[in-house]
Structure 1
């Protein structure tokens, strides 16, 4: 790819992003679009004010996003969301420093100190990369020093972030000390009681005996599918009774109005007062019945009463599951039980800290623990097959990006050269668009696979999907793009000379810099712009508003932050940026713009659109830390290959200790920080217990007992009756 193709791709992406952002700044000021662009605010019943100049584009949303602080995000959305935003801040801080070094030092060095002077290959983008440096040149030691500086600076930022997030996690746990999951433990693989052949009595006997001072109560889980069906039928019956009463009341109202109208006519001057009074009495009786039925709390109490009677008669045949939620009297008691092995058999009485009640995936709790490895193995197999099949479109994209190879495979493509500027669009813009289009469906496919993994909480399922998507992107979008793009013509030589393969891989990395520039432009400018515009929801809302929901009040479109869809792509861009920080510094300014735009867009989305559906208190960060360490190691290995390719064996061997140091740093972080993200110390739990009053302590225990009631034993919610049914049935005379 030449400079003209890169400039064409940049121009198209920048123009498209400016158009989309301008359209968003206009549409967000329309009250009819508030359920899309202010869903979070509407769910919190916050007032919205729209300016009279709302049809003029503005950048007010950017100013508001930049004014949001980390503390505000932490207080309103939680630590997980803050970590998501800190990932963009990490990218800005890291690549801003790398850009200064790359543009002021490495870029001029690559261009001036190249083979044959600055005029050589000045028409190509390779003139600004390390591949322009002559073999054996002493200027490569500058790249060696920059590699060490970039690596150490990245590790410093990682350590600083890890330490700061650990402190915030402990503070967040302190704030959430009243939550039910602080007192609750999830127990799986509960054996049957020898005496009663039941699991509920086995739970009570076991924890009363081995945790006598801290055990409070338990909630055994049941396979309540049939009970749920009956309760849905019961809810439908109540609704039909209510609607029947409403219809009868409306019918009597029409009769009263008709009698009044007839009494005022000349044909019937004598008003039928007796009949009207009789109908009024019937109407008042119906009104009393409706008022006794339409109140949500009374409906809930009636259904709860029904449920109690039903459970008393039906719990005998409901199948118990070998799973239970155990409530303890104190937090340290729950921590000790969750973090210890209960019996000598590790496959029985398996305990862990319970997830938040809103985070629990109840259906997956019915999966037997011994079958979970099979579920996870199936997920890995499905993800591997998807990765293999995805190699076809990636190879095709690289064929389009290399015009010479495209004309070799498809000779009619030579006609592209007849139209001025079309070749630059075909080779510079279209490949990145096609690749992003194919990759867009990958997170949803991986989430579907993660659903089959049997995870007990949504947060674990999302984290697993993040891992699957990240390694898919590293394998396909990064490595496969390198192999299919730059090594396809040399693959025969690679097999003939396998010892040269690392050097050829390093050469491929430097040759593909221009393609990854266009990829980041498309993924960042176009991707983030479409994220904030929400075109899919706009189209869906327009169709609904003009068809079946024409006269209904709009409800906000509430969604949680799609971690699995954003974090892996941001981590991939960090990987690309680190690999090319020393190889091709011209890429770095694009990454700074990528992270700045992403930061502004997602702060706006978090403030106005996305809601928080669970809180893990920062358990995403260890995975993000791992992704960035992987990126640093790949950068260092690539540079080892490049130094060998440039006939600098001493520089290549001197980089190996840097790789070892990075791996040791990662191990230190695992020992120093990681345990606190999955376990909580007894000391912290005891401190939390001392800070709570007696009344609040009893209330917390009661909430913990009720919060983990399974859906089949919980009164389902009943939607509020529409306001039209609560209006007066007859107008006053």
Structure 2
């Protein structure tokens, strides 16, 4: 990629970002767009202060939403959105801290050293950033010790920040659990692999007998899990019909309300509408009666599954049972900490524990096939980047040069756009695969999808882009000489810096801008409002926060920046606006748009720690190969020592910080129990846990806030 292509990519991305953000700031001010840009606040019943009536201010772009994002404190995010959301925000701050310091180091130290490092002018610079990268330094030069010193500094700084973040988030997790003492999962354990009681032919009596015998002092009660597929389908169908009838009732009521303000000539029309309302109310009441009848019939013939929610008298008992093996047979009486009631995937509780292994194998095969398929577009993208090489293999590509400036746009902007377009569908595909694996909670499913997406991006977007770009320059070198892999990797990393700058610009400026615009929702909202008629009470477009989509993408940007921190420091300044824009965008999305549908108290952070630590390791491995290419074996050996020290640091973090993220300690459970008992709330919190884990299809039907003997909507 030449400098003109890089400038074209930067210009197009910045122009698109300015247009999209200006459009967003205007659309956000329109009251009619509140279901798109304020769905969370609408669902919470908050009042949104719009300028009523026509005002020129409503049509003027503004940046007032940006300072608002920086005024929101971490405590407010924790209170309103939870610790998981705060972890995402801390990830953006982590990126800002790293690359602000690394950019200063790179621009003031590494860039001048690299630029003045080669005195042999016989080799022409073939890549726009080569003169500022380590590839411009002569082999065996003593300047390479500057790069080793910077590598040591960056590694130490990042590991220090990782340690600080791990400890800080762990402290917040412990305090957050103290603050949420009314959570039912603090008293409840999910038990699977329950044997059938031979005497009574049921699982329930086995549960009661087992825990009464082995945990008599702490066992309280149990709630069996039932197969609800049939009743769930029935209720879903009836509730959809009821929803359709309610919409008809709402439209009829609007007609009647309008008719009451018209002269008496139209009284007959109004009376006709009133009769229609009564007919629809009768239909709605009949549907709700069918729902109640279906629930009643199911309750008497419900089928037990070999799973149960077992409640204990104290949190200490829950912590003890959830972390110990209950039976000599490891596949019987399997206990685990229970997720929040709103986090549970009830349909997956019906999956046999023995079938989960088969599901995991199937997901692994599907992910592998997707990875192989994705190699085609990545290789094609690199073909566009290497246009000069592509023209030798595909002569019609020379036609691009006939239009002035088109070649720069094609090689600079188009590849990153195509790649980001393909990447956009990957998180949703991985989430669908993770759903097949049979996780009992949405949070565990999304954490699995998060890891699958990240490693997919590392393997396909990063490594495959490097190798495919390198292979177009030197066909077959990587595979014919596998012993030289580190050397090929280091050489490819240096050569592909321009492409990853374009990728960061497109993913950051264009990607974050389109995220906050909500292009799909605002387009559908416009079509529905103007083509299909507008409802007086439009439901907000409310969806859960997409951790599985946001965290891997940001982690990949950190990985790219880390690997290029010493190799090509000119990439680093582009990452600072990337993380700043992402920070303000997702603060806005958390406050106004996305709903927080579950809370794991920060369990995403151990995954994020591993992603960032992987970036540190890849940075060091790349530099080992690069020092070898530059005939500096002493630096390679010292980097290997640094690599070993980094691995030891990670093992320390696993032992010191990781366990409290996945286990409820006996000490903390006892302290919270004592505090509850002192305040007289222990009994209330325990009884809340008993009633919390009941399937949603057995919940009472809400008939529009009315009793069955009253009309569902008032008529005139």
Q: Normalization by structure 1: what TM-score?
A: 0.89
1:105 match: secondary structure: helix
Distance in 1, Cα, partners of 2:248 & 2:562 = 68
Q: Which residue of the other structure, out of 135, 138, 144, is the alignment partner of 1:134?
A: 138
**Change beyond 3 A, Cα 1:546–1:290:** closer
Question: Matched residues in 1 for 2:464 and 2:324: separation?
Answer: 44
Alpha-carbon distance between aligned partners in 1 of 2:239 and 2:23, rounded to the nearest angstrom: 45
**Counterpart Cα distance in 2 of 1:224 and 1:443:** 29
Alpha-carbon contact 1:246-1:290 (below 8 Å) kept: no
Distance 2:704 2:456 in 1: 42
Name 1:593's counterpart in structure 2: 577
Structure-2 residue corresponding to 1:39: 39
Contact 1:321/1:366 (<8 A) preserved: yes
CA distance in 1, matches of 2:367, 2:29: 42
Residue 105 of structure 2 corresponds to 101
User: 2:253 touches 2:713 (CA, 8 Å); kept in 1?
Assistant: no
CA contact (8 A) 1:111 1:118 kept: no
3-state SS of paired residue (1:351): strand
Give the aligned partner of residue 701 of structure 1: 686
Q: Could you say which residue in structure 1 is the equivalent of 2:656?
A: 672
CA distance in 1, matches of 2:237, 2:44: 32
Give 1:406 shift.
1.7
1:341 and 2:325 aligned: yes
Q: How far is the alpha carbon of 1:124 from its aligned partner?
A: 3.3
Compare 591-600 and 401-410 and name the one that shifted more.
Answer: 401-410
Q: Which runs of 5+ in 1 are unaligned?
A: 254-259, 264-278
Q: Distance in 1 between matches of 2:245 and 2:202?
A: 39
Residue 483 (structure 1) aligned with residue 470 (structure 2): no
Deviations 1:640-696 (A, max 9, x none): 000000111111111001111111111100000111000011110011011125653
Report how far residue 555 of structure 1 moved: 1.5
How many residue pairs align between the two structures? Answer: 694
Q: 1:422, CA displacement in angstroms?
A: 1.4
Mapped partners of 2:464, 2:39: distance in 1: 40
**Pairing 1:162–2:146 present:** no
Q: 1:397 to 1:237 in 2, by over 3 A?
A: closer
Report the CA distance shift for 1:45/1:154 in structure 2 as closer, same or farther (over 3 A).
Answer: same
Deviations 1:493-534 (A, max 9, x none): 445544333212210110000000000000000000000001
Matches within 5 A, 1:277-426: 310=297, 314-315=300-301, 318-426=302-410
Separation of aligned partners in 2, 1:663 and 1:558 = 42
- The equivalent position to 1:177 in structure 2, one of 176, 181, 199, is 181
Contact 1:180 1:701 in 2 (8 A): yes
Aligned with 2:212 (options 208, 214, 219): 208
Distance 1:458 1:247 in 2: 36
Label 1:438 to 1:226 Cα distance change in 2 as closer, same or farther (>3 A): closer
1:77 Cα deviation after fit: 0.3
Return the alpha-carbon distance in structure 1 between the equivalents of residues 582 and 519 of structure 2: 17
Residue 491 of structure 1 and its aligned partner are, at CA, apart by 3.9
State the match for 2:85 in structure 1.
81
Tell me whether 1:657 sits opposite 2:641 in the alignment: yes
Rounded to whole Å, the distance in 1 between the matches of 2:533 and 2:481 is 67
SS at match of 2:222: strand
Q: Which residue of 2 aligns with 1:271?
A: none
- In the TM superposition, residue 700 of structure 1 has moved relative to its aligned partner by 1.6
Q: Deviations over 1:206-247 (max 9, x none)?
A: 111111111111111111333345556777999999999999
The structure number with the bigger radius of gyration is 1
- What is the Cα-based RMSD across aligned positions, in Å? 3.3
Local SS of the residue matching 1:221: strand
What SS class does the counterpart of residue 305 from structure 2 fall into?
strand
Aligned 8 A contact 1:395 1:481 in 2: yes
Cα deviation, 1:330-377, whole Å, max 9, x if unaligned, reads 101111111111011111000001100000000000000011011011
Q: Distance in 2 between matches of 1:404 and 1:71?
A: 53
Instruction: Decide whether aligned partners of structure 1 residues 225 and 403 sit closer, same or farther in structure 2, where only a CA change above 3 A counts.
Output: closer
Alignment of 1:559-638 (within 5 A): 559-638=543-622
Secondary structure in 1 aligned to 2:336?
strand
Superposed displacement of residue 8, structure 1 = 1.0
Superposed displacement of residue 196, structure 1: 1.2
* CA positional deviation for 1:444: 0.8
Which residue of the partner structure matches residue 72 of structure 1?
Answer: 76
CA 1:237–1:519 in structure 2 vs 1: closer, same or farther (change >3 Å)?
A: closer
Hey, what does 2:16 align to over in structure 1? 16
Cα deviation per residue 1:430-458 (whole Å; 9 max; x = unaligned)? 11111111111111111110110100000
Q: CA deviation at 1:729?
A: 3.7
The DSSP-based 3-state class of the residue aligned with 2:676 is coil
Q: Quick check: 56-65 or 119-128, which moved more?
A: 119-128
Q: Is the 8 A contact 2:389 2:472 kept in 1?
A: no
Indicate which of 522, 531, 553 corresponds to 2:506. 522
Return the match for 1:199 from 186, 196, 203.
Answer: 203
CA contact (8 A) 2:196 2:202 kept: yes
What secondary structure, in the 3-state scheme, does the structure 1 residue paired with 2:472 have?
A: coil
Aligned equivalent of 2:3: 3
Shift of 1:719: 4.8
User: Would the alpha carbon gap of residues 720 and 526 (structure 1) be closer, same or farther in structure 2, given more than 3 Å must change?
Assistant: farther
Q: TM-score, normalised by structure 2?
A: 0.91
CA-to-aligned-CA distance 1:398-452 (integer Å, 9 cap, x gap): 0100111121122122122222211111111111111111111111111110110
Kindly report which structure 2 residues correspond to 1:684-723, keeping only aligned pairs within 5 A, or say none: 684-693=668-677, 695-719=680-704
1:26 matched to 2:26? The reply is yes
Show the counterpart of 1:256: none
